[in-house]
Amino acid sequence: MEVSAMIGSSHPKLGRLDLARTDVDFCNLKYNCRISTCFGGKPRWKKAGLRFTLKAFQSEAVADESKSASGRRSKSEHVSNIALSLSGHSIDNNVKPPLKVCLVMKRDNVKLYVGLPLDAVSFDCKTIKHARAIAAGLRALKLLGVEGVELPVWWGIVENDTMGIYDWTGYLAMAYMVQQIGLKLHVTLCFHGSQKPYIPLPKWVSQIGESEPSVFFADRSGQHYKECLSLAVDDLPVLDGKTPLQVYHSFCESFKSSFSQFMGSTITGISMGLGPNGELRYPSHQQPSTNNGTHGVGEFQCYDKNMLRFLKQHAEASGNPLWGLGGPHDAPTYNQLPDSNSFFRNGGSWESPYGDFFLTWYANQLLNHGDRLLSLATSIFNDTEVTTYGKVPLLHSWYTMQSHPCELAAGFYNTVKRDGYEEVAKIFAKNSCTMIMTFPGMDQLSDALVHPEETLSSHELLLAQIMEACRNNGVKVSGENSSDSGAFWGFEEIKKNIMSGDNVLELFMYHRMGASFFSPEHFPSFVQFVRSFDQQELHSDDLLEEEAGSLVET
């Protein structure tokens, strides 16, 4: 089956895809299991069904109208009350009693989104990959009361072959599919590349980088990071006579024009890519953690030709030309610990006049880059009804050290003596943008549970600091997690950190739809998570805690 859309068409064609009925298999070869999702009949709460099938586990969920014992609910309440009946058979064929989950979605506070697969659109941008599976998944999310989905739109797919030639076909088809199912769409404009799945920068950009590698970030050893352009070239005509900002501007203008029929209705939010993984930061962690799980401090990324030139100019202007020869010589490399060299130690070079000079310059380069890109996004989309966003990472490792080494290496001049997030919040406030905090492993956001003492990590303290900076500057905050472990207790940690106390977020994006997302090890817990968001009372037919536990164990 092929799904395609023609640019310029007000209604992208979905080929033979029938959104009223979709049968699909999500296959997980690693665990030798198959999950089948089926929707049939007219798209009414009463008729829609959801079925997951495994070799060792079967459960069936059928949406129906909920009725209270007292019968006092009005017809309008039935629209938001969804009952999912779950029945399971163990591998020895012992039948378990029916289990029910009653969803009461009021959605007054946090808006919940689920990320679509990173490679949802084919590399040639002509089709939606696994279109029937995605359609089935979208219907499942709609039944649960999820607000919408997040779609990554890749620069390397849309403008791959030639500068200024865009192909939006597959993404238009995806937007149309989401619209037909009745969900909202949050779009992330990805001006970076990805390793898993492999999605590089546009071919014409990579060809420029082969002849002029200084368009990329570089570390002290001269290794280049080729998954995004260096912020030092933002205003330099390095892309066939144009600056990256000019190229990004044209890309965003083309997106706005091509998706005008969806703007403000289906598309309600746009995240502007700001750097590696779309986040406002330097690529200070290019290498994986060591085998024992120890998270190093990262490495400063100031050694490409243009960054060094700017550093030299700044040092000469400050009257200290010798400070402009390079980054700190006594800083650790990627996976080294903070005390392996003297820069980040208590009383180390970070506290010296030179340290303050370098860290201020390094952080300001990042802040100015973020300001330029957020301003670009706002100037293009401010006449639509779409909210603009930018992502800021939660770099919690080594946070309780005085120097905060991971944050310093990534470009945030935040230490025990200096608040580095007030300036970040100010550029979001200046550009009327919402901040998305990206939480690595947000299902583990409990300092007491999982973090080894040697990393001196604190999610909670850093989260509180950033939230306070945003409150001080009137910046709205949303969040997303980048972990898919899906542990049942993990959802409780997520909810605690996005809805407790002052940490109430406007929107939360849970990543990502796919085979593991819909697996019986994960999906029942996700159902419970969604169900718990705004429910104010329990009903007699609710799923009991012990029954939920037995379902997850199965």
Distance from the first to the final alpha carbon of the chain: 34
Closest residue by Cα to residue 155 from 230, 249, 285: 249
Q: How many residues does the chain have?
A: 554
DSSP H/E element including 268: strand 267-272
* Packing angle, helices 131-144 and 169-181, rounded to 10: 30
502 class by beta-carbon count within 10 Å (0-12 exposed, 13-18 middle, 19+ buried): exposed
- Coil vs helix vs strand at 393: strand
| CA pair distance 112, 532, nearest whole angstrom | 12
Tally of CA atoms within 13 A in the half-sphere of 233 that contains its CB: 26
Q: Does 279 qualify as catalytic in the annotation?
A: yes
Provide the pairing of β-strand 33-39 with 224-229.
Answer: unpaired
Tokens of 392: 């800021």
C-alpha span between 132 and 118 (Å, rounded)? 16
Burial class (CB in 10 A: 0-12, 13-18, 19+), 487: middle
Q: Cα separation of 526 and 144, whole Å?
A: 10
Alpha carbons within 13 A on the beta-carbon side of 510? 28
480 a catalytic residue: yes
For residues 60 and 346, give the distance between their C-alpha atoms in angstroms, rounded to a whole number. 58
Produce one character per residue of 311-339: b if its CB has 16 or more CB atoms within 10 Å, e if not: beebbeeeeeeebbeebbeebbbbbbbbe
What DSSP string describes 457-525? --HHHHHHHHHHHHHHTT--EEEEE------HHHHHHHHHHHHSTT---SEEEE---STTTTSTTTHHH
For residues 85 and 100, give the distance between their C-alpha atoms in angstroms, rounded to a whole number: 5
Contacts for 317 with CB less than 8 Å, ≥ 6 apart: none
Helix, strand, coil percent content, the chain, rounded in steps of 5: 35, 20, 45
One-letter amino acid at 144 equals L
Cβ-contact 300, 328 below 8 angstroms: yes
Kindly name the residue from 279, 407, 506, 547 that is annotated as catalytic: 279
With contact defined as beta carbons under 8 Å apart, do 518 and 512 qualify?
no
Q: Are 338 and 398 in contact (CB under 8 A)?
A: yes
Considering the candidates 150, 227, 351, 480, report the single residue annotated as catalytic: 480
Other beta carbons within 10 Å of 231 = 26
What residues are annotated to the active site? 279, 480
